[in-house]
């Protein structure tokens, strides 16, 4: 899953969204023609129009004229940088001023690059392509930083931040949130007997099962370590978490993946459940879910909450 996303990002830049900002409509028309290889090229003819556009649609790159009536390019750029999602968008200034101080103003305003008028469309096109590729590569690295390559789920790094965030929200709003911690039973024995490929497929299948049970945008499934998945369920009480836990077990085990090392001769999962509202004396919600998971493994049960 992750590899497919990364490959699609790196191979094709023609789907990138480019915004041309210039009060001279002839200039934007000329550049639009020069950028015909890109599917989505838009024009704005003032700083105000550019800001309005970016508040509704995040472009992958902007070419911004410096001298415009109303908001000039420098002021426009500074405002654009305050829009959520625009912090890293490449902004190329287009200017007829070539002095050192003029260049410094472009950098200080938050520009990524600048070209001098009259603009060579061939040179500008090469710069645009390079900036878009760099942006895609940067997005790829950011994506991989919080996603697990094997399963496509979020990873432990994401969980550490998101867990703290949701814990803080619950404490401030006096709302509940729950965790479901699951592990494949006898997983290392399964790996030793059947090999890495089958073990990885088993983990991917559990990840798919868990993902399909989540229906709210704030719910998050995480591969915490080699054999452990964690489900974060904001605004969900212990009963809701227990329902998800039961469904994980039922949906996964009904496929009866053979595992002679298991007492039931199939691959099984065990699940520990906890919620913020059920903790006492400052207990950690995650530590409690793990504790319940390991205690039920010792007791040969399936769910502990």
- Give the model confidence (pLDDT) of 184-225 as tens digits: 999 999 999 999 999 999 999 999 999 999 989 999 999 999
Please check the confidence at residue 2 and state whether its pLDDT lies above 60.
Answer: no
CATH 3.40.50.2300 residue ranges for the chain: 2-146
Mean pLDDT over residues 267-285, rounded?
Answer: 91
Question: CATH topology for 2-146?
Answer: Rossmann fold (3.40.50)
Could you say which architecture CATH assigns to the domain 154-304?
A: 2-Layer Sandwich (3.30)
Percentage of residues in the chain having pLDDT higher than 90: 70
The average confidence (pLDDT) of the chain is: 89
Average pLDDT over residues 35-59: 95
DSSP character string of the chain:
-HHHHHHHHHH--TT-EEEEE-S-HHHHHHHHHHTTTSSEEEEESSHHHHHHHHHHS--SEEEEES--SSS-HHHHHHHHTTSTT-TT--EEEEES--SHHHHHHHHHTT-SEEEESSP-HHHHHHHHHHHHHHHHHHHHHHHHHHB-TTT-SEEHHHHHHHHHHHHHHHHHHT--EEEEEEEETTHHHHHHHH-HHHHHHHHHHHHHHHHTT--STT-EEEEEETTEEEEEEET--HHHHHHHHHHHHHHHHTT--B-TTSTTSB--EEEEEEEGGG--TT--HHHHHHHHHHHHHHHT-SEE-
pLDDT at 232 over 80: yes
According to CATH, where is 3.30.70.270 located in the chain?
Answer: 154-304
């Amino acid at each position: 899953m992750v590899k497919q996303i990364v490959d699609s990002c790196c191979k094709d830049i023609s789907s990138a969204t480019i915004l041309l900002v210039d009060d001279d409509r002839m200039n934007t028309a000329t550049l639009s023609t020069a950028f015909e290889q890109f599917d989505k090229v838009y024009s704005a003819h003032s700083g105000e129009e550019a800001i309005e556009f970016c508040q509704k649609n995040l472009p992958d790159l902007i070419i911004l004229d410096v001298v415009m009536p109303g908001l000039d390019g420098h002021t426009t750029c500074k405002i654009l940088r305050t829009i959520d999602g625009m912090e890293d968008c490449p902004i190329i200034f287009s200017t007829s001023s070539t002095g050192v101080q003029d260049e410094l103003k472009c950098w200080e305003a938050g520009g990524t690059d600048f070209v001098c008028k009259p603009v060579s469309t061939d040179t500008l096109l090469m710069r645009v392509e390079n900036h878009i590729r760099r942006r895609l590569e940067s997005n790829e690295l950011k994506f991989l930083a919080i996603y697990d390559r094997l399963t496509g789920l979020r990873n432990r790094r994401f969980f550490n931040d998101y867990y703290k965030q949701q814990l803080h929200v619950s404490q401030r709003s006096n709302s509940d949130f729950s965790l479901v911690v699951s592990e494949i039973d006898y997983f290392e024995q399964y790996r030793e007997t059947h090999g890495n490929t089958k073990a990885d497929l088993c983990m991917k299948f559990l990840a798919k099962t868990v993902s399909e049970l989540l229906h709210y945008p704030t719910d998050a499934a995480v591969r915490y370590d080699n054999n452990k998945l964690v489900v974060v369920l904001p605004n969900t009480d212990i009963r809701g978490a227990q329902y998800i836990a039961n469904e994980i077990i039922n949906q996964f085990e009904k496929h009866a993946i053979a595992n002679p090392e298991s007492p039931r001769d199939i691959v099984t999962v065990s699940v520990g459940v906890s919620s913020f509202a059920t903790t006492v004396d400052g207990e950690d919600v995650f530590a409690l879910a793990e504790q319940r998971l390991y205690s039920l493994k010792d007791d040969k049960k399936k769910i502990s909450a």
